[in-house]
Structure 1
Amino acid sequence: MEELHMGITERIYKKIEKHAVKICFVLAVLLASLITTGVYYRAEAAARGELQEHLAQEVLRFHVLANSDSDADQELKLEVRDAVLAYMDENMPEAESAEDTEGWVRAHIDEIEEVGRAVVAGAGADYPVSAAVTTCWFPDKSYGDITFPAGNYEALRIEIGAAEGHNWWCVLYPGLCFMDTVNAVVPDEGKQKLKNVLTEEEYSRVTADSDFKIGWFFWQR
């Protein structure tokens, strides 16, 4: 009887040992998977950060903030946008870099501000208008087939009134401030200028269908 009891106990221990080995194996696989995933995401985050920093050196963005989210203020925001872009299109010489564009904008910031004020006054509003080239944080956005990572970028920033409404932005250099929000096609000229200043790998990342969706141009109303 004692031998029978010992035999049963031994079989139970062997089963427990067998299951324990399986559990340890599964846990080891899970741990290895978690470590691999963590390494991948850290590497991906680092690559994305480097890409954003390089892009920030090569572009100048344009940011217009409405007074509020009322229909009238949102419409006024777009009128200011149109007038400022028309002024720059008529007066700004073709630039070969974001630095050149930024230099021209800084030199003509008073005129740009005055264009905005004239539009606001013409609409019968008395909001103040301020314009400056400053560092702004932009979220991940996508538009057309170009993507842009979140981060800090130099931008021409125009604030209308309290500047508490939904805003609009695009990219002044390369010239991607197009108005066709239906077809969402990025101009080939702007793409080529961007391609000239990025590495082949960087350019493939910003034109790839990836998890981070970043926009050359974003319209929020």
Structure 2
Amino acid sequence: MKLLIKSAAFGLALTILFSGLYFHAECKVISNSVLRLHILANSDSEEDQALKLRVRDAVLEEAGALFSSAHSKEDAAKLAKAGLSKIEEIAQACITEQGYNYTVRAELTSMFFQTRIYDHIAMPAGVYDALRITIGSGQGHNWWCVMYPPICLPAAEKKDELEDVLEKEQIDILENQPKYEIKFKIVEIFESIANFFTNGA
């Protein structure tokens, strides 16, 4: 009887382990398939946070044209890198128009994100390539979305854009976070530890 219980427990443990490994692998596919947009405000003052959103709107208004020829994350990253000066120009013009003299920096980087939810889509924790825009000192709360597939661009059809890039199982993960809440947390812990040992932060 004890042997039967131990065997059942071992089988259950293996099932949970393989299920977790599969979920983590699917999350890695997601993080490797998207390009995120990350905008850092100068500070957390009400004025600086409002400015951050104005910069966001200005950049997104032009982003459709900048990224219209992207057919993959790699395409989007190349276009972002080539368009950094243009993106900075758009952001700087918006900042100046609002009466501020902050500097702005646009860069393509690879960075760690915790689990985040954007408009009912949950992005699992992990290291993502990102177009990062830093306003002034960049000490304020950030705003983020997904630049590719272009689910945060004006007129984007989120479902269609995701289906062009991800498989059904991966879209299910993004759109049904409550169903996978425990697995999301496990992935976040694992990725946080991995990021700590890789980058020391």
**What TM-score do you get using the length of structure 2 for normalisation?**
0.76
Tell me the equivalent position of 2:188: none
Structure 1 residues 161 and 32: alpha-carbon distance in aligned structure 2, compared to 1, 3 A threshold: farther
The alignment partner of 2:150 has SS state of coil
Q: 1:145 & 1:117 partners in 2: Cα distance?
A: 31
**Is residue 119 of structure 1 aligned with residue 94 of structure 2?**
yes
Q: 1:130 & 1:40 partners in 2: Cα distance?
A: 47
What amino acid does structure 1 have at the position aligned with 2:40?
A: L
**Is residue 75 of structure 1 aligned with residue 44 of structure 2?**
no
The alignment partner of 1:101 has SS state of helix
Tell me the equivalent position of 2:180: 211
What amino acid does structure 2 have at the position aligned with 1:194?
A: L
Q: Deviations over 1:40-87 (max 9, x none)?
A: 543343223211221122211100001111001101111111111112
Q: Deviations over 1:152-186 (max 9, x none)?
A: 1111000111111111001111111157xxxxxx9
For the 8 Å contact 2:107–2:133, the answer to whether it is kept is yes
Match for residue 52 of structure 1 among 17, 27, 39: 27
**Is residue 156 of structure 1 aligned with residue 156 of structure 2?**
no
What amino acid does structure 1 have at the position aligned with 2:36?
A: R
TM-aligned CA deviation for residue 139 of structure 1: 1.2
**What TM-score do you get using the length of structure 1 for normalisation?**
0.69
| More displaced 10-residue stretch of structure 1: 147-156 or 114-123 | 114-123
Q: How many residues align?
A: 182
| More displaced 10-residue stretch of structure 1: 67-76 or 142-151 | 142-151
Gaps of 5+ in 1: 1-23, 180-185, 215-221
Structure showing greater Rg: 1
Gaps of 5+ in 2: 186-201
Q: 1:62 & 1:166 partners in 2: Cα distance?
A: 14
| More displaced 10-residue stretch of structure 1: 198-207 or 127-136 | 198-207
Structure 1 residues 90 and 195: alpha-carbon distance in aligned structure 2, compared to 1, 3 A threshold: closer
Match for residue 138 of structure 1 among 83, 99, 113: 113
For the 8 Å contact 1:106–1:132, the answer to whether it is kept is yes
The alignment partner of 2:180 has SS state of coil
Q: 2:99 & 2:138 partners in 1: Cα distance?
A: 18
What amino acid does structure 2 have at the position aligned with 1:203?
A: I
Q: 2:163 & 2:140 partners in 1: Cα distance?
A: 34
TM-aligned CA deviation for residue 192 of structure 1: 2.5
**Is residue 103 of structure 1 aligned with residue 72 of structure 2?**
no
Q: 1:134 & 1:126 partners in 2: Cα distance?
A: 25
